Amino acid sequence: MSWIDIGAIDDIPLRGARKLRTHLGCVAVFRTDRDEVFATGGTCPHRGGPLAEGIVHGRAVTCPLHNWVFDLETGQARGEDASIPTYPVRVERGRILIDATLLRRAAA
């Protein structure tokens, strides 16, 4: 894995999300009420809704446009044959690190 710094955890509130830019493209980063952090593709596969503006509940996010619900760990949409890419992330000394290896593959 090749980790890159994409921002400070304090910039994302609990049960919140942010769209963050990397040199390999944008990702949506979510922080749950249990202080877990997840990163996914930022665009809903239904009609392009901005997932970083969705509602975070448990380990899931609800798309703000038509309420599809995505599991943040697997990327699978509940009740739909669709998914979003997920990326490994970790938090170290207050900074969010993302695995650039998978981002590179997604950008290719």
Which of 1-9, 10-18, 32-40, 59-67 is the region at the interface with ligand FES (rule: CB under 6 A)? 59-67
SS3 category, 83:
strand
Q: How far is the CB of 96 from ligand FES (least distance, A)?
A: 24
Interatomic CA distance for residues 2 and 17, integer angstroms: 23
The DSSP element (H or E) to which 18 belongs, if any, is strand 16-22
CB 40 within 8 A of CB 31: no
Report how far apart, in Å, the C-alpha atoms of 21 and of each of 2, 8, 26, 66 are: 17, 13, 4, 25
Q: How far is the CB of 90 from ligand FES (least distance, A)?
A: 27
Q: Which of 4, 37, 65, 91 binds ligand FES (CB under 6 A)?
A: 65
Which of 8-16, 19-27, 58-66, 96-104 is the region at the interface with ligand FES (rule: CB under 6 A)? 58-66
Residue ranges in contact with ligand FES by CB under 6 A: 44, 46-49, 63, 65-66, 68
